[in-house]
């Protein structure tokens, strides 16, 4: 049987209490908080982090395909799934694809992975992330949040079998962005919910119920895409589900992360699922996909590295609205006395992808010293060209020393920097992200985290930073 072999999630460390919007803009605010991607995060980096959370115990080299589903890629032309494949070190013999432009892209990618697995692919990694913006003072600004989820679909060690699927496609406009829009344009909600969300989802759910003969009572959970839990709960109730069956929409803790919203909820449901549970997974956007999963005995033998719940719990809720505006480039910052970073040289990026995206250093075959950055002559014994590849990603480290750089150009100073000593040897001097500067100390344990390092010129560049273990 084909199904989910592994699952994982990622939620940015920083959250903004919705009260901050009220304070800043003088408008009523909804309860709860929203997860906000850091200055060094985007959908690609978050999807890569979810992938690393997911492939716990799975060899990256055994992954046949890497998919990314999102409506917020850094490029219109240039794939992002390749970046994620590099971050998890999947090797080059891997099929990659971006599924974009629809909030349903997450389930589209999962369905494509299911098809690939049925056709013999051993394991297909599906990642999904979103980082979308509603304009300040609008309803979407409050309800949206950022996050990611990832799944490995395959046929060995399945933790949740695919029972059946049913898809509906509809030409329908509710929220949209054209090629130049920064913010989502919403149509009037009363129309879009009544004629779009309610009817289209209903069609998919009725369709799969009819196809399988299953009724609401047969499901442990319905995992239903939610922009606003009020509409989600009402729709689920109208379809015959009890409140206890409805998987938490993440509204209070994360916000709705677009393409990744229902997949994140699915990851959350799997964390709590018991063998035999049937899960009805329903997405929405230009139609609706419904997938029924049945949880297997193997569910207890897989755990993500951290998973959704722990990611939600690990947070800093101190973000102000001013910081939020800066992170989203919604205020112009005085950079008149800063030296603008040079746009990178593509051949230099090309030469160093293995180092910078997959975090490979080298290890001397003569003296065994791991070293970063990659060296040809050993830093310890000076042997020439006796190196083998050595991957630092996934290695724990300790802070040897650190500083807070208030002078380095940054929209959100200070830039936190440290010297990181890795277990097993090797040292790296790099940025430390997601930390409380006051809590930093020599000896603190850190882990490496994949980040969008710079957005410069028209390039988004990616690299790794240390962060306190979440």
Partner 1 sequence: MASKGIKDKVAIIGMGCTKFGELWDKSPADMLIDSAYEAIADAGIEPKDIDAYWYGTMATNISGLSVSIPLKSQYKPVSRLENMCATGSEAFRNACYAVASGAYDIAMAVGVEKLKDSGISGLDIRGILSGNDGADINITAPAGFSFIAPAYFKKYGLDPKQGKEVLARIAWKNHKNGALNPKAQFRREVPMENIMKSPMIAAPLGIMDCSGVADGSAAAIIVRAEDAKKFRSDPVYVKALTCITGPGHSGMYQDYDFTTNKETCYAAIDAYQQAGVTNPREQISMAEVHDCFTPTELILYEDLQFSERGKGWVDAMNGFFDLDGKLPVNPDGGLKSFGHPIGASGLRMLYEMYKQLQGKADKRQLENPKLGLTHNLGGLPWQSVAFVSIVGKELD
Task: Calculate helix-pair angle for 198-212, 229-238, nearest 10 degrees.
Answer: 40
- Sole binder of partner 1 in the list 97, 314, 459, 470 (CB under 8 A): 459
**DSSP H helices in 244-368:** 261-272, 307-313, 321-327, 346-351, 353-356
Which residues face 280 on adjacent strands? 222, 292
- Sole binder of partner 1 in the list 345, 385, 439, 458 (CB under 8 A): 345
Q: Is 364 in the site for partner 1 (CB under 8 A)?
A: no
Residues whose CB falls within 8 Å of the CB of residue 138, separated by 6 or more in sequence, listed in order: 183, 186
Q: Is 417 in the site for partner 1 (CB under 8 A)?
A: yes
Q: Is 338 in the site for partner 1 (CB under 8 A)?
A: yes
Q: Is 358 in the site for partner 1 (CB under 8 A)?
A: no
Report, in Å, the least distance between residue 453 CB and partner 1. 6
The residue count for binding partner 1 (CB under 8 A) is: 50
- Sole binder of partner 1 in the list 83, 228, 371, 449 (CB under 8 A): 371
| C-alpha pair distances (Å), 446 with each of 396, 397, 431, 467 | 6, 5, 11, 5
- Sole binder of partner 1 in the list 401, 436, 445, 469 (CB under 8 A): 401
Residue 260 burial (CB count, 10 A): 37
In the shown chain, the binding pattern of residues 86 to 115 toward partner 1, with x for contact by CB under 8 A and - for none, equals: ------------------------------
Q: Is 426 in the site for partner 1 (CB under 8 A)?
A: yes
Q: Is 78 in the site for partner 1 (CB under 8 A)?
A: no
Q: What does the alpha-carbon distance between residue 224 and residue 249 come to, in Å, rounded to a whole number?
A: 8
Q: Is 119 in the site for partner 1 (CB under 8 A)?
A: no
The first and second tokens of residue 28, run together, are 């009523």
Q: Is 351 in the site for partner 1 (CB under 8 A)?
A: yes
By beta-carbon proximity to partner 1, the closer residue of 228 and 358 is 358
- Sole binder of partner 1 in the list 156, 313, 389, 405 (CB under 8 A): 405
Q: Is 79 in the site for partner 1 (CB under 8 A)?
A: no
User: Do the Cβ atoms of 398 and 420 come closer than 8 Å?
Assistant: yes
Complete DSSP assignment for 397-426: EEEEEEEEESSS--SSPPEEEEEEEETTS-
| C-alpha pair distances (Å), 463 with each of 89, 97, 451 | 13, 21, 5
Strand 95-100, strand 65-70: pairing: parallel
Binding interface with partner 1 (CB under 8 A): 337-339, 341-342, 344-345, 348-349, 351-352, 355-356, 369, 371-372, 375, 379-380, 400-410, 414-415, 417, 419, 421, 425-427, 429-431, 437, 442, 453-454, 456, 459, 461-463
């Amino acid at each position: 049987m084909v199904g989910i072999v592994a699952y994982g999630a990622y939620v940015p460390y920083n959250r903004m209490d919705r009260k901050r919007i009220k304070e800043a803009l003088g408008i009523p605010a909804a309860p709860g908080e929203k997860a906000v991607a850091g200055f060094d995060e985007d959908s690609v980096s978050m999807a890569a982090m979810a992938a690393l959370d997911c492939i716990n115990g799975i060899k990256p080299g055994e992954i046949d395909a890497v998919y990314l589903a999102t409506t917020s890629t850094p490029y219109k032309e240039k794939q992002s799934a390749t970046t994620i494949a590099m971050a998890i070190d999947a090797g080059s013999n891997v099929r990659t694809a971006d599924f974009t432009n629809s909030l349903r892209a997450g389930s589209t990618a999962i369905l494509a992975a299911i098809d690939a697995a049925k056709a013999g692919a051993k394991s297909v990694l599906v990642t999904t992330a979103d980082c979308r913006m509603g304009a300040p003072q609008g309803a979407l600004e409050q309800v949206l949040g950022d996050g990611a989820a990832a799944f490995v679909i395959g046929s060995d060690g399945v933790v949740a079998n695919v029972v059946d699927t049913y898809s509906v496609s509809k030409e329908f406009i509710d929220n949209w962005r054209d090629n130049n829009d920064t913010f989502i344009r919403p149509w009037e909600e009363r129309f879009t919910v009544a004629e779009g969300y309610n009817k289209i989802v209903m069609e998919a759910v009725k369709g799969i119920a009819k196809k399988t003969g299953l009724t609401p009572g047969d499901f442990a959970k319905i995992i239903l895409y939610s922009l606003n839990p009020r509409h989600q709960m009402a729709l689920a109730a109208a379809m015959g589900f009890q409140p206890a069956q409805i998987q938490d929409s993440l509204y209070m803790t994360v916000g709705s992360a677009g393409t990744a919203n229902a997949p994140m909820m699915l990851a959350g449901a799997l964390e709590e699922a018991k063998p035999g549970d049937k899960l009805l997974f329903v997405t929405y956007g230009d139609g609706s996909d419904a997938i029924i999963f049945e949880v297997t005995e193997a569910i207890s033998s897989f755990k993500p590295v951290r998973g959704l719940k722990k990611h939600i719990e690990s947070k800093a809720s101190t973000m102000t609205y001013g910081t939020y505006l800066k992170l989203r480039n919604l205020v112009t910052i005085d950079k008149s006395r800063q030296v603008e970073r040079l746009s990178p040289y593509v051949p230099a990026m090309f030469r160093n992808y293995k180092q910078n995206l997959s975090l490979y250093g080298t290890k001397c075959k003569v003296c065994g010293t791991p070293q970063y950055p990659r060296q040809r002559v050993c830093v310890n014994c000076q042997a020439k060209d006796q190196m083998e590849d050595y991957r630092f990603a996934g290695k724990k480290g300790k802070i040897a020393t650190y500083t807070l750089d208030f002078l380095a150009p940054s929209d959100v100073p200070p830039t936190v920097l440290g010297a990181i000593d890795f277990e097993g040897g090797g040292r790296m001097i790099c940025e430390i992200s997601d930390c409380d500067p006051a809590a930093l100390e020599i000896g603190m344990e850190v882990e490496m985290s994949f980040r969008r390092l710079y957005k410069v010129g028209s390039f988004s560049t990616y690299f790794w930073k240390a962060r306190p273990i979440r």
